[in-house]
Structure formats: structure tokens, C-alpha cells
A = this chain, B = another copy of it.
Amino acid sequence: MELIRTVGELRTRLDRERAAGKRIGMVGTSGGMHQGHQSLIRRAADENDLTALYWGGAPADLSAWQSGSTFAYDRDAGHDWPLAEAAGCEILFAPEGAVMFPREPMTKVSLPSFSSAFPQLEDPAHLDLVALAMCKLWNMFGPCRNYFGEKDWQQLVMFVRLAEDLEYPVEVIGCPTVREVDGVAVSSRNAQLTSAQRAAAPVLFRALGAARSAAEAGATKAADVERVFVETVGDVAAVQYVAVVDGPTMTPFDELEGSVRILASIALGDTRLVDNVGVDVTAA
């Protein structure tokens, strides 16, 4: 695995590969490498000639722009880098924070219908910065296939639309959420759970499955599907939210139709778990 620290080196290296007809698969992570990231790297390696990883991060807000405080640090390298290499990563792009964010931008990039979809859960201003950082990354990496987990659905569909709207020569590919054997989505947050909380955690995916089954069985109203979710969670955890939306656009449904996504979050103690499932509903 080759370590690259600067944008210039990255471009030269990837341009050379593309000039030779090679296809680039790309994955980004802000550190805390786990099986979810590894599955994305593995898929990128399977479907492309060269696999490159961005190992850095996005700034939490504008005041953090220059601090690099949200970056994966080299102290995590000992954990993350071998896992990346084992999954098939060939080029690791790990810039310093000052390389990625040299000064506060005057440009704003925003997809309000995505970034403001759940303002109580994800700060829209943060998601705007994520969109801007993604523009930068795509401009650094150049034409490629970029792999994302479906677990972060809001970001995934935002990136799909961003790439389409701005005509990036990038194919955004969503990949199924990686789960533990009991259905819990793999996440760095799972390590924060007590063993009792961890034992309760499967209720999230189970309740999402019940809600999906209700939609498959003919429930047509979003409110009914959401009620099934809430009733299945019961008093096992605190429901933070459940929303039934049009998958590609995040538009909330009253009546389900087409490509439906059910997104939910529960709290177990101080830890919030998020997950989502999809279901196709054909209009009668």
C-alpha cells in the first residue's frame, strides 16, 4: 500500500493510471476503520483496477476549518492502515488538515432538500460542509467510482444528486449496510454500548424490518408504517425519529409510492443508533 500526502502526488499518480486505461475505485473515511469501511474497500477493489482511500475527514464547522481537529490522526494509523490494506487498498491518501482545508472557503455548496431533511439530527450547516468537502475530494481524485454505505442514507443520496447536478465524472455507488449476525449495523458507536444496551440494540433493525413488512403487506400510509416501527421498539429503547421518505430525494411521504426508504434512530442510554431499510412500493 502506497502512502500519499499531497494533492499533487495524488493527481500525478492517478492520472498516470487512468492514462493507461485503469479504472479507479475510491472510498473515503474519517478514521475509526471497521468492517463497514472494509466492505466498501473490498467492493472497490473487486470492481476496479486500482483502489484508493481518502483517510482524513470533514471539518465539523467553519471555525474548525483550519484546526484539522476532526481529522483522523496518525495515532490511529496503526489501527486503520493495516485494515485498509487487508481489504485491498492500494493507495492511501492521508493529507494533513492544512492540505485539505488550507483556508476558510468563500464558496458555499448546499443541497437544502437533503441537508435539511433531519435538522434535529444532522446539522444542515455541517452537511453543507460535507458536500463542499466532497466536491474537493472528487476534484482531487478525478474520474472514479466512489463507494458509500447505505447506512448513511442521507449523505449517500445527497452525494448522488451532487455528482449528477454538477456533472462530476464520478459514479456514486451505494453499498448494502454491513451487519452483525444479530442484524445490528456495524458502527464505531456500537463500542460505546454497555453489554445490556448491546443486547437491546437489535430492536432497531427488527423494528425497521416490521415496518418494511407492513409496507410490503399493503400499508399505504406513512403514519401507519411509522406506527408499526414505534410499536415494535416498544419500551426497549427511546425512539429518536422514524421517517418514511422517497429514497432518492428524501421527500417525506404521506402515501407510499415507488422507491421508499424507512429511516430511524433510537437512543440506548447516551448512544444514538441509526439505520434504514428500503422497500419498493408499486402503485396499485
Q: Which residues of B contact A111 (CB under 8 A)?
A: 106-108
CB proximity of A273 to chain B, nearest CB, Å: 28
A239 interface residue per 8 A CB criterion: no
Q: Which B residues lie within 8 Å of A112 (CB)? A: 106, 108
Q: Which of A128-144 contact B (CB under 8 A)?
A: 131-132, 135-136, 139-140, 142-143
Is B106 within 8 A of A114, CB to CB? yes
User: What B residues does A18 contact at CB under 8 A?
Assistant: 15, 19
A-B contact pairs, 29 of them (CB 8 A): A11-B169, A18-B19, A19-B19, A105-B165, A105-B166, A106-B114, A106-B161, A106-B165, A106-B249, A107-B110, A107-B111, A107-B161, A107-B162, A108-B109, A108-B110, A108-B111, A108-B112, A109-B109, A110-B110, A132-B165, A135-B135, A135-B166, A135-B167, A136-B165, A136-B166, A136-B167, A139-B169, A140-B167, A142-B142
Q: Is there an interface contact between B106 and A113, defined as CB atoms closer than 8 Å?
A: yes
On whether the beta carbons of B166 and A107 are closer than 8 Å, the reply is yes
The answer to the question of A279 belonging to the interface, with a C-beta cut-off of 8 Å to chain B, is no
A7 in the interface, Cβ–Cβ < 8 Å? yes
A157 CB to nearest B CB, Å: 10
Query: Which residues on the B side are within 8 Å of A107 (C-beta)?
Result: 109-111, 131, 161-162, 165-166
Of A107, A136, A140, A167, chain B has the most CB atoms within 10 Å of the CB of: A107
Q: Which residues of B contact A143 (CB under 8 A)?
A: 15, 142
Which residues of A from 212 to 250 have beta carbons under 8 Å from B?
A: 249
Identical chains bound together, number:
2
The answer to whether B110 touches A7 (Cβ under 8 A) is no
B-contacting residues, A151-180, CB 8 Å: 161-162, 165-169
Cβ-neighbour of A167 out of B108, B110, B139, B168 (below 8 A): B139
A17 CB to closest chain B CB (Å) equals 11
A107-B166, A109-B109, A136-B167 given. 14 additional CB < 8 A pairs? A18-B19, A105-B165, A106-B114, A107-B109, A107-B111, A107-B162, A107-B165, A108-B110, A132-B165, A135-B135, A136-B165, A139-B166, A139-B167, A142-B169
Per CB-CB distance, the 4 closest pairs between chain A and chain B, nearest first, are: A19-B19, A107-B165, A105-B165, A139-B167
Per the bound structure, the CA–CA distance linking A165 and B140 in Å amounts to: 12
Taken together as a complex, chains A and B put the C-alpha atoms of A92 and B125 apart, in Å, by 39
